[in-house]
Chains A and B, each alone.
Chain A
Amino acid sequence: MRIKVSPEIICAPATPEGYSALAVIRVSGKGSLDLIERIMSLKTGRLRGMRRKLGVISDNGKVIDEVIAFSWPAERSYTGEEMVEITCHGVPEIVRGIMDVLVRHGAGKAHNGEFTRRAFISGKLNAIQIMTLASKWNKGNEKGNISGRFGRECEEFINQIEKVKELLEGDIEFGEAHLDSERIAILTELSSLIRDSEKLIQQAGKIEQGQKVFLMGPVNSGKSTLFNILAGGKALVSDVPGTTRDGTRRNVELRGRKVLLCDTAGTGGEGLDIQASKTVLDEIQEFDKVVWMSQNGKESAPEELSSKLPEILEVASKSDLNQVSKKSFEENGKILKLSSITGEGILLLEEWISTSPGNMSLAGALDRTVNHIVNAEKFVTGDEFGIASEHLNEAEREIRSILGKGENLTLSVERALSSMCVGK
């Protein structure tokens, strides 16, 4: 068994695999400079400071490639550690060769987002910047905002919550005179909090990548049709079972909330289908949602799916084809009836997707924050100041978790990091 020490130095290709003019390999960690100097046979100290050196990397005397190494000292690098970027020719064999050499010299292969993780840990980036970065990365052309303005607004919001808390607690401890004016002052503050939090939610929607919503179900249950209705159009549709084999996804905005809509290949078909839906199963994370569709709701979601995440909506599709069940969604409780032809159930579905965001998302945390504040308001009006105070505390906790200052810090950052590529 190998000794499980954390590698001080990590390395990873930072450009996509394939043929290109150039490729970049990133190396970070204490001792990176020494390591690169060694494998490029440079004189010791040549890479100290912000340097650029041309050299050759060889494997057992055999030259792999002529490369340029760019070096950064710890205090000026992305990760906050010593860092080198090796620019080589964009040939997969060369990149692999250089990686092999690096690994043999003691560097570890980086995992998704590990460079950014180090940047986070060394204090170069805060949680919000990382999430912004992650969404920027994941959305490619979207304009992200790394300035941290949103973070400052969250901080300001926390101050506001604290102010209301002070009022409320003050009234609990000292408000002997039962003055209605105090209560009114608290209620006024609470409603202005609610207004502000809604603004925050709008902003968060711009920063954050949407949660993923998977459309799943047996073949020919109408997933792609629904996908097209929700996404407004381009997935391949036909009435032949099994048309969608590779899955399609699109960012859509439902009721102001960003959602990544994923159409999947149907289950229950033969061969390929099973493999395809297995891939989807592996991809689903606990903060995602699944819409499980089957014609007339006759097949319910498989156990392995429902055990994996709490947010599953079962949908009875093609309700226009079937007149058996006259029950509405409310009466039926669990299963939503849907028809892409009559439009039945579509609004309810959109609402479900947009109003109950998954656990770990930024929008979700903000949603819960507003919920708690609304509850606080309710309980002040309902003469339960103790409960109102609990909700304000919860609201503060939620928003602190967004800022990476609360209990959920590690989770939210982990999530952002895992969505990045290895060279990020």
Chain B
Amino acid sequence: MKISENTFDVIVIGGGHAGIEAVLAAERMGCSTLLVTARYSRIGEMSCNPAIGGIAKGTLVREIDTLDGSMGKAADATRLHFRMLNRRKGPAVWGPRVQSDADAYALFQRNYLERKAIRILEDEVIALEGSTENPEGIKCRKNGVVLGRTIVMAVGTFLRGRLFRGQSEWRGGRIGDIASDNLEEDIRRRLFHVERFKTGTPARIVRTSVDTGELGIQESEETDFRFSTDRKDLPGNREVCYLTKTNRNTMIAAKEYMHLSPLLAGRIDGIGPRYCPSYEDKVVKFPEREQHNIYVEPMGYRSRIFYLNGLSSSLPAEAQEKMVRSLPGFEKAIISDYGYAVEYSYFHHTEIAPSLRLRRTHNVFVAGQMCGTSGYEEAAAQGLLAGANAAGIVKGAKQLTPSRGNSYMGVMIDDIVSKGTDEPYRLFSSRAENRLHIRQDNADRRLYEFGKSLGVLSEGKSLLLELNMKEAAEIETVLSESIIERCQAAIWCRRPGAEAERLAELIPTLSSFSRDRIFSVMLDEKYSGYIRRSMKRDESRRRASSVNLSSITSYMEIKEICWEAREVLEKAKPRTLAEAERIPGIRPTDLEGLLLHLAGKRSTWNSSIKKETDQ
């Protein structure tokens, strides 16, 4: 049947990490789906570094997997190298990260889409079709109008993407790809509030031109860790990564060409990520530091290309050459692709609802860089939620968002939707208030219920997770009932260095469970006091947040808070304390002041008068 004769339940624009998860989630929920991408061959491309996971990000991948997404499966199947980051800093902050074979990863995702019989249309989307409140579909350059009940936009950096290197500037969503200029124009025409961000990528180096003998080696950890609960066979760890450091010459080279930097010359207006800055940013911000770590990562198994993690740059080719060659072992390096910066449009956070629907529409969702985030994992998690909620509209289900206290996914969505971000948003473990609870080892148990109510779990996954839950509950019971070494087993788990293997030896009934599962439950016990406290605080915060401020007629009169805050509040006129909290520039002290003001007006004196009259 011709594309134009269909009305799809969910149309997903973009074949990146967000788009893939979105279309798969909708498909799992039984919707008819269409994935529209400008280039079929670049579906699932790792546009930047060939790694999945990291601190907080790795946990996020586990959460995506719990919701039956494909990212964890793809990362497991194509991994070359694995490290559990923060191994020596406690299981609460462990961050699993794999280096994947970039080509194999993309291929895996394409095959996965095909296996699920996802219909894919290779075309450029140039506009939404119909009204802004309720678009009927999309308009494509070649295929014209395609009808859809809901639309998920996940076009990444393509939204009026502009690429920069030194003095040159050209259109593009990524090197070698066209930008979505028409779509951006349509979005602006519909008066959505969009802003500009920038991000960048480093040079790629020809592997044989590098003397790896000069570099430090980062071996892969030997482990059977998997992101996915599927327990599929793993490929061996087949590559090593390398480590080198920048030096004085790198800095001199960067400084010499600094005046040609598109960013510093003011040609890029977009704000870049603070935590993944370009090398020239580092030079400007830390002028006294000559040494910065550079991780040298192979782009694939026996790939001829190295990725230079940490040397992102948009300086002219000449400068990049000098910078790269200043690194030990890179004296004769040949650059296969030069680094560049990309500037793109994204939606201001006020446009986005917690379900990731654009507030002004009934049926259009956004995910990934369009929401102002950066990173594959962040994009994939949003894609999954956007796809599921889009499908939810079609199926008449409730719109859902995971909670902040229970998952990084919830933390991220709450952050981007309520606070917004003034630089590309990256997930950090410290963004979560309940970090000891939101761990990589218990993602399956944390999000099972959510996944079930979202309706995004396939039958197999659901059964598997249920089994995991059951096992964990059994272990928990055993721990609370057993006494080992004159101590309740649950308490024993809190000892430093308590290990699952040892526990299984001490309590034979546990030996049938996997050590990972035992360890996960042990951690629950170990951190339980902290977790409870954090949840309690969360609760009281929530209670305080519901405080009604409607009795305040003028914020300018409130003497308990500072002038600046009065002005900001007067302008925003929040109705509840929660709303006040979310206004940028409002500090906890101001909230206390508001509470105090209300308490002074109402309860304190009232209650004392009450006492008097009662007597």
Q: Residues of A with Cβ closer than 8 Å to B? A: 1-2, 4-7, 80, 108-109, 111, 114, 117, 121-123, 169, 171-178, 379, 382-387, 389-390, 404-407, 409-410
Write out the residue numbers on chain A whose beta carbons fall within 8 Å of the beta carbon of B93. 172, 385-386
Write out the residue numbers on chain A whose beta carbons fall within 8 Å of the beta carbon of B295. 176
Report the minimum CB–CB distance from A78 to chain B (whole Å). 15
Write out the residue numbers on chain A whose beta carbons fall within 8 Å of the beta carbon of B91. 386
CA of A176 to CA of B527, assembled, Å: 24
Write out the residue numbers on chain A whose beta carbons fall within 8 Å of the beta carbon of B56. 173
Contact A385 B86 (CB under 8 A): yes
CA of A415 to CA of B430, assembled, Å: 34
Report the minimum CB–CB distance from A398 to chain B (whole Å). 13
Closest 6 CB pairs of A and B: A386-B92, A6-B605, A384-B90, A385-B89, A169-B430, A121-B600
Contact B610 A4 (CB under 8 A): yes
- Select which of A173, A382, A383, A404 is within 8 A of B429 by beta carbon: A173
- Select which of B87, B588, B602, B610 is within 8 A of A405 by beta carbon: B588
CA of A406 to CA of B85, assembled, Å: 34
Write out the residue numbers on chain A whose beta carbons fall within 8 Å of the beta carbon of B592. 404-406, 409
- Select which of B89, B559, B600 is within 8 A of A172 by beta carbon: B89
Interface residues of B in 264-280 (CB under 8 A from A): 275
Write out the residue numbers on chain B whose beta carbons fall within 8 Å of the beta carbon of A387. 90, 92, 436, 527, 530
CA of A5 to CA of B608, assembled, Å: 11
Residue B460, interface by CB 8 Å: no
Report the minimum CB–CB distance from A420 to chain B (whole Å). 14
Residue B613, interface by CB 8 Å: yes
Report the minimum CB–CB distance from A419 to chain B (whole Å). 15
Report the minimum CB–CB distance from A133 to chain B (whole Å). 18
Residue B599, interface by CB 8 Å: yes
Given A80-B559, A123-B560, A172-B86, verify A386-B436 contact (CB < 8 Å).
Answer: yes
Contact A171 B89 (CB under 8 A): yes
Given A121-B559, A172-B93, A386-B90, verify A6-B606 contact (CB < 8 Å).
Answer: yes
Interface residues of B in 577-607 (CB under 8 A from A): 588-589, 592, 595-597, 599-602, 604-606
CA of A257 to CA of B74, assembled, Å: 62
Report the minimum CB–CB distance from A111 to chain B (whole Å). 5
CA of A111 to CA of B599, assembled, Å: 16
Write out the residue numbers on chain A whose beta carbons fall within 8 Å of the beta carbon of B496. 382, 384
Write out the residue numbers on chain A whose beta carbons fall within 8 Å of the beta carbon of B610. 4
Contact B596 A121 (CB under 8 A): yes
CA of A122 to CA of B596, assembled, Å: 11
Write out the residue numbers on chain B whose beta carbons fall within 8 Å of the beta carbon of A2. 613
Contact B88 A178 (CB under 8 A): yes
Report the minimum CB–CB distance from A184 to chain B (whole Å). 13
Write out the residue numbers on chain B whose beta carbons fall within 8 Å of the beta carbon of A176. 85, 293, 295
Residue B428, interface by CB 8 Å: yes
Report the minimum CB–CB distance from B255 to chain A (whole Å). 24
Contact B530 A410 (CB under 8 A): no
Residue B162, interface by CB 8 Å: no
Interface residues of B in 409-433 (CB under 8 A from A): 428-430
CA of A347 to CA of B609, assembled, Å: 46
Report the minimum CB–CB distance from A76 to chain B (whole Å). 15
Contact B605 A383 (CB under 8 A): no
6 contacts between A and B (CB under 8 A): A6-B605, A108-B609, A173-B275, A173-B428, A174-B275, A177-B243
Write out the residue numbers on chain B whose beta carbons fall within 8 Å of the beta carbon of A177. 243, 293
Contact A172 B609 (CB under 8 A): no
Residue B390, interface by CB 8 Å: no
- Select which of B86, B87, B560, B613 is within 8 A of A121 by beta carbon: B560
Interface residues of B in 541-593 (CB under 8 A from A): 559-560, 588-589, 592
Write out the residue numbers on chain B whose beta carbons fall within 8 Å of the beta carbon of A7. 605, 609
Residue B55, interface by CB 8 Å: yes
CA of A121 to CA of B598, assembled, Å: 11
- Select which of A117, A175, A389 is within 8 A of B604 by beta carbon: A117
Q: A384-B496, A389-B430, A404-B592 are in contact. List 11 more A-B contacts (CB 8 A).
A: A4-B609, A6-B601, A6-B605, A169-B430, A174-B275, A176-B295, A382-B496, A384-B92, A386-B93, A386-B429, A390-B435
CB nearest to A405 among chain B residues: B589
Q: Residues of B with Cβ closer than 8 Å to A? A: 55-56, 85-93, 243, 275, 293, 295, 428-430, 435-436, 496, 527, 530, 534, 540, 559-560, 588-589, 592, 595-597, 599-602, 604-606, 608-610, 612-613
Report the minimum CB–CB distance from B129 to chain A (whole Å). 43
Contact A383 B293 (CB under 8 A): no
CB nearest to B593 among chain A residues: A123
CA of A387 to CA of B90, assembled, Å: 8
Report the minimum CB–CB distance from B49 to chain A (whole Å). 13
Contact A4 B606 (CB under 8 A): yes
CB nearest to B89 among chain A residues: A385
CA of A152 to CA of B536, assembled, Å: 30
CA of A114 to CA of B607, assembled, Å: 13
- Select which of B55, B243, B435 is within 8 A of A389 by beta carbon: B435
Give the one of A121, A171, A409 with max B CB within 10 A.
Answer: A121
CA of A173 to CA of B243, assembled, Å: 18
Report the minimum CB–CB distance from B315 to chain A (whole Å). 23
Report the minimum CB–CB distance from A171 to chain B (whole Å). 7
CA of A377 to CA of B530, assembled, Å: 17
Give the one of B93, B435, B589, B613 with max A CB within 10 A.
Answer: B93
CA of A170 to CA of B56, assembled, Å: 13
CB nearest to B534 among chain A residues: A390
Contact B599 A383 (CB under 8 A): no
CA of A405 to CA of B605, assembled, Å: 22
Contact A123 B559 (CB under 8 A): yes
Report the minimum CB–CB distance from B284 to chain A (whole Å). 19
CA of A395 to CA of B408, assembled, Å: 25
CB nearest to A174 among chain B residues: B275
CB nearest to A384 among chain B residues: B90
Contact B90 A111 (CB under 8 A): no
CB nearest to A6 among chain B residues: B605
CA of A80 to CA of B600, assembled, Å: 14
CB nearest to B55 among chain A residues: A173
CB nearest to A110 among chain B residues: B608
- Select which of B530, B540, B559, B597 is within 8 A of A390 by beta carbon: B530
CA of A111 to CA of B605, assembled, Å: 9
Give the one of B86, B530, B559, B612 with max A CB within 10 A.
Answer: B86
Contact A383 B560 (CB under 8 A): no
CA of A387 to CA of B560, assembled, Å: 35
Contact A409 B596 (CB under 8 A): yes
Report the minimum CB–CB distance from B86 to chain A (whole Å). 6
Report the minimum CB–CB distance from A28 to chain B (whole Å). 13
Given A6-B609, A121-B559, A405-B588, verify A385-B90 contact (CB < 8 Å).
Answer: yes
CB nearest to A394 among chain B residues: B533
Write out the residue numbers on chain A whose beta carbons fall within 8 Å of the beta carbon of B608. 111, 114
Write out the residue numbers on chain B whose beta carbons fall within 8 Å of the beta carbon of A80. 559
CA of A171 to CA of B430, assembled, Å: 11
Write out the residue numbers on chain B whose beta carbons fall within 8 Å of the beta carbon of A117. 600, 604
CB nearest to A122 among chain B residues: B559
Write out the residue numbers on chain A whose beta carbons fall within 8 Å of the beta carbon of B435. 386, 389-390
CA of A387 to CA of B91, assembled, Å: 10
CA of A108 to CA of B55, assembled, Å: 60
CA of A111 to CA of B596, assembled, Å: 18
CA of A405 to CA of B610, assembled, Å: 29
Contact A172 B588 (CB under 8 A): no
Give the one of A382, A385, A410 with max B CB within 10 A.
Answer: A385
CA of A384 to CA of B601, assembled, Å: 45
CA of A7 to CA of B435, assembled, Å: 47
Report the minimum CB–CB distance from B525 to chain A (whole Å). 13
CA of A406 to CA of B610, assembled, Å: 28
Report the minimum CB–CB distance from B486 to chain A (whole Å). 17
CB nearest to B537 among chain A residues: A407
Report the minimum CB–CB distance from A47 to chain B (whole Å). 23
CA of A6 to CA of B527, assembled, Å: 46
Contact A4 B613 (CB under 8 A): yes
Report the minimum CB–CB distance from A70 to chain B (whole Å). 24
Contact A1 B613 (CB under 8 A): yes
